């Protein structure tokens, strides 16, 4: 049995040695480039942790490749998202459409998704119909989440519930699906497969809420990105949507005024909007909601019929997500 850290290392090494090269170079080099940029390899590691709950045999290619497929798919979504957002950098390196060009990024991304399906199809034949169903569902969910996220940019009537559904699709279904696919290939019961999915779905939402929270309230010295980016960009996170819902009178006027201020002093805007959030008690509401999802994820994990020892790493992973400061 491997720890989360060991599994991340294993996946890291396997991805480094993955043969994604070949001709034509312009198609395959960007795939290798994107996969070489690193990342925590969380999704494949969760898939393998979930597998281990139900299967004590040494993980072989029939589970490792499906786990890798999840990381390849995740990186494919980043590649195409970066084109759509016209982002310059990813993990401190130029994005594919900047290093090559937009057409290369589109087509390499397409090929990368197909590679993900190739790796996923290396699961044991008897599990393939179920694995494919899960993979297709999560893949489509991620696209739906990305579309909602883009739609929200131009909408002014987004509700908190719609936001939670968007982050469920964009972030959680891939984490939940990764855990479930591991459980399927591990041979788990229907009930346990469902519980692992629930665990992932709830922890994914908690994770995204935490991410939004840290963007506004994180310590700039430890949090990787600049603090306040979401406020500057009027990003419709839980914090802003909840504040818009609760604000009244002059507080509402003030918040709306700041939302219209897009070319002023960023630092001043961040401070002012954060003050409004504080006045409305938004940080506590965000923390409470996050804890709510965290508790739900713990409850689902507790009910999984597997050794507590084996579940310890998944539990620790969830705790780390919530306690993290960066």
- Contact window for a copy of itself (CB under 8 A) among 48-56, 148-156, 224-232, 255-263: 148-156
Q: Which of 8, 146, 178, 297 binds a copy of itself (CB under 8 A)?
A: 146
Q: Which of 37, 87, 93, 132 binds a copy of itself (CB under 8 A)?
A: 132
Question: Residue 179's closest CA among 170, 167, 188, 169?
Answer: 188
Residue 237 tokens read as 């996170």
Smallest separation, CB 64 to a copy of itself (Å):
17
Smallest separation, CB 107 to a copy of itself (Å):
6
Residue 179 tokens read as 């855990």
312 binds a copy of itself (CB under 8 A): no
Q: Which of 7, 68, 139, 185 binds a copy of itself (CB under 8 A)?
A: 139
Would you tell me the crossing angle of helices 238-246 and 160-167 to the nearest 10 degrees? 170
d(CA 202, CA 206): 6
- Contact window for a copy of itself (CB under 8 A) among 113-121, 201-209, 244-252, 315-323: 113-121
- Using alpha carbons, list the distances in angstroms from residue 147 to 28, 85, 141, 151, 166: 27, 12, 10, 6, 9
Question: Residue 68's closest CA among 117, 111, 22, 29?
Answer: 117
Q: Which is nearer to a copy of itself, 106 or 227 (CB)?
A: 106
| Sequence-separated (6 or more) residues with CB below 8 Å from residue 117 | 69, 135
> Which residues are near a copy of itself by CB under 8 A?
23-24, 26-27, 80, 83-84, 103, 106-107, 109-111, 113-115, 117-118, 121, 125, 128-129, 132-133, 136, 139-140, 143-144, 146-148, 150-151
């Amino acid at each position: 049995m491997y720890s989360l850290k060991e599994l991340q290392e294993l996946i890291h090494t396997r991805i480094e040695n993955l043969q994604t090269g070949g001709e034509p170079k312009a198609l395959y080099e960007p795939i290798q480039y994107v996969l070489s940029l690193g990342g925590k390899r969380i999704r494949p590691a969760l898939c393998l942790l979930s597998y281990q709950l139900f299967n004590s045999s040494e993980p072989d290619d029939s589970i490792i490749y499906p786990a890798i497929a999840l990381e390849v798919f995740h990186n494919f979504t980043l590649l195409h998202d970066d084109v759509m957002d016209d982002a310059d950098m990813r993990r401190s390196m130029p994005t594919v459409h900047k290093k090559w060009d937009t057409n290369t990024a589109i087509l390499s991304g397409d090929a990368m998704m197909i590679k993900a399906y190739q790796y996923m199809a290396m699961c044991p034949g008897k599990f393939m119909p179920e694995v494919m169903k899960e993979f297709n569902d999560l893949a489509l969910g991620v696209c739906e989440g990305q579309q909602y996220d883009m739609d929200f940019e131009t909408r002014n009537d987004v509700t908190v519930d719609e936001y939670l559904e968007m982050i469920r699709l964009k972030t959680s279904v891939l984490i939940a699906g990764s855990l479930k696919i591991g459980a399927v290939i591990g041979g788990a019961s229907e009930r346990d497969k469902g519980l692992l999915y629930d665990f992932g779905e709830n922890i994914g939402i908690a994770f995204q809420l935490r991410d939004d929270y840290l963007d506004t309230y994180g310590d700039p010295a430890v949090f990787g990105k600049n603090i306040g980016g979401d406020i500057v960009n009027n990003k419709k996170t839980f914090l802003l949507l909840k504040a818009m819902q609760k604000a009244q009178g002059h507080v509402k006027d003030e918040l709306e005024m700041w939302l219209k201020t897009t070319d002023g002093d960023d630092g001043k805007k961040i401070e002012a909007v954060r003050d409004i959030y504080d006045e409305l008690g938004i940080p506590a509401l965000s923390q409470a909601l996050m804890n709510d999802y965290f508790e739900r994820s713990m409850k689902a994990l507790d009910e999984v019929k597997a050794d507590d020892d084996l579940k310890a790493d998944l539990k620790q992973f969830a705790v780390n997500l919530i306690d993290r400061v960066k």
